[in-house]
Chain A
Amino acid sequence: MKFLLLIFLFLSSAHAQERTWKEGLHLFLGGGLNLSNYHTTGDTLGSGLHFKTDFGYFFQEKWAIESGSNVKFAKVHDTLIWDTLLTIGVRRRLRDNYYARAFIGQAPTVFFTHDSPDLYKRSGSSRILYSGPVIGGGYGKFYQTPDDTVWFWEIGGSFQKLDNAKGVRDKGTVPEVVFQTNRRAVEVYSATFSVGILVF
């Protein structure tokens, strides 16, 4: 019922359009920097680059429903961490082309262990996969250049809880799980800064 009400809310908005918030299907591409804190028994900071895409339907006045991916890389000690935040969410237009957004989803996260002398290396796995939920939000602003290019900046934050660790190695083209364990969950708090453009 709540979801039906939400749909009704989205579909019923009908007011004047502005050029940076056009009704229709849109795809955004961006990239930037991220800073993450990995919390297990202690805290470890990692930072790196990320690139993000969001596509969604923008309704006329204030709302958009969207799906996004944020592919983040971070280096922590000798381990490269690659996580992909696959999310769905809503975006709300604020005044002066500012916007806020909220999302939930899943975040398959990979720890590359090639150079890491931890216990996983002994299992013969080349990477460790975690999965778990993610929740987050963002705040940003659209701009329009004289040649009609729309670009944006956005600051964002997310929280991931990763568990279900799987050690994986590739057997030809097929990934093979060599062990699976429910270790203590890793909690990841991330902050991102992104700049990007409207693709269409």
Chain B
Amino acid sequence: MRCGLIIFLFVFLSRLSFAQERVSSYERMSNFGIVYGAQWTSYVLTQKPTIEKNGSLRNWYTNLGSPHFDNDSFDYNIFQHSLTGAAYFLFYRSRGYTKVDSFLWAFISSAAFEFTVETVTERPSWQDLYQTPVYGTILGMGVEKLSDTLYETNTWWGKTLGTVVNPFRLISKKKDSVTFMPYSDGKVTGVTISGSFE
């Protein structure tokens, strides 16, 4: 079973090299880094009590090599991981990746979280490794289609709803964009947000 899985992953991931023509290597690493940073940030913010109680550096590296089938609830395994996977997928889509490439990078980001972030408190989960990118991609494609349909009504409410449904439109390379510029003059500190819309 494990040998079969390793072979499957080998063949699957080896195809990555054929699937990356639209985004430069630098952009790919930057985008992965953004997701990875967001994963650590959200993990520390949302799991702080669990990390303080059960987390350790020793866990972080010993859990790495011992994935298992988790005991999580339906809500966690199906819904919450699908939402997370959809966020990965939509982020990569917004950066110009094709659907297949977005799926592959959602898969990689999900694996990075399972094997190098969440191991602080728990072992990697086989269910999460599969379900996060796969269900997330399916959900993400639906969300993207709904958002595009709303946006293409060319009305203010359609564009607003389309952006609410898929907020990653705001960081899209091709559609609309938003820029955050930190500001400080010694007395006042803030952020200037500017956006451009089609």
Residues of A within 8 A of B (CB): 3, 6-7, 10, 24-25, 27, 29, 53, 55-57, 65-67, 69, 71, 82, 84, 86, 88, 104-106, 108, 110, 127, 129, 131, 133, 166, 168, 170, 173-175, 177, 199-200
Q: How far is the CB of A99 from chain B (nearest CB, A)?
A: 18
Give the chain A neighbours of B8 by CB distance below 8 A.
56, 65-67, 88
Given contacts A57-B12, A175-B72, contact A86 B7 (CB under 8 A): no
Instruction: Tell me which of A6, A29, A82, A86 contacts B130 (CB under 8 A).
Output: A86
Given contacts A6-B7, A106-B1, A173-B76, contact A53 B135 (CB under 8 A): yes
Would you give 26 A-B contacts (Cβ < 8 Å), ordered by A?
A3-B3, A3-B7, A25-B15, A25-B19, A25-B100, A27-B103, A27-B138, A53-B134, A56-B8, A57-B15, A65-B8, A67-B12, A82-B74, A84-B77, A86-B126, A86-B127, A86-B130, A88-B1, A105-B1, A106-B1, A106-B69, A131-B69, A166-B71, A168-B71, A200-B100, A200-B141
Most buried by A among B50, B69, B70: B69
Given contacts A7-B7, A27-B103, A65-B8, contact A170 B130 (CB under 8 A): no
Name which residue of chain B comes closest to A108, CB basis: B69
State the CA gap A84–B125 with chains docked (Å). 13
State the CA gap A29–B139 with chains docked (Å). 11
Name which residue of chain A comes closest to B133, CB basis: A55
Given contacts A27-B138, A53-B135, contact A67 B71 (CB under 8 A): no
Contact: B100 with A55, CB < 8 Å?
no
> Does B73 interact with chain A (Cβ within 8 Å)?
yes
Give the chain B neighbours of A53 by CB distance below 8 A.
134-135, 138
Give the chain A neighbours of B70 by CB distance below 8 A.
108, 175
Residues of B within 8 A of A (CB): 1, 3-5, 7-8, 10-12, 15, 19, 50, 69-74, 76-78, 99-100, 103-104, 126-127, 130-131, 134-135, 137-138, 141
Instruction: Tell me which of A71, A110, A200 contacts B99 (CB under 8 A).
Output: A200
Question: How many pairs of residues, A versus B, come closer than 8 Å at their CB atoms?
Answer: 85
Contact: B138 with A65, CB < 8 Å?
no
State the CA gap A71–B70 with chains docked (Å). 15
State the CA gap A104–B71 with chains docked (Å). 21
The 8 closest A-B pairs by CB, nearest first: A175-B71, A108-B69, A168-B71, A88-B8, A88-B4, A53-B134, A200-B99, A3-B7
Name which residue of chain B comes closest to A104, CB basis: B1
State the CA gap A82–B76 with chains docked (Å). 14
Contact: A129 with B71, CB < 8 Å?
yes
State the CA gap A95–B171 with chains docked (Å). 47
15 more A-B residue pairs beyond the given contacts A25-B100, A27-B134, with a C-beta to C-beta distance below 8 A: A24-B15, A25-B12, A25-B15, A55-B103, A56-B8, A56-B12, A57-B11, A57-B15, A67-B130, A69-B131, A88-B4, A88-B5, A104-B1, A127-B73, A173-B50
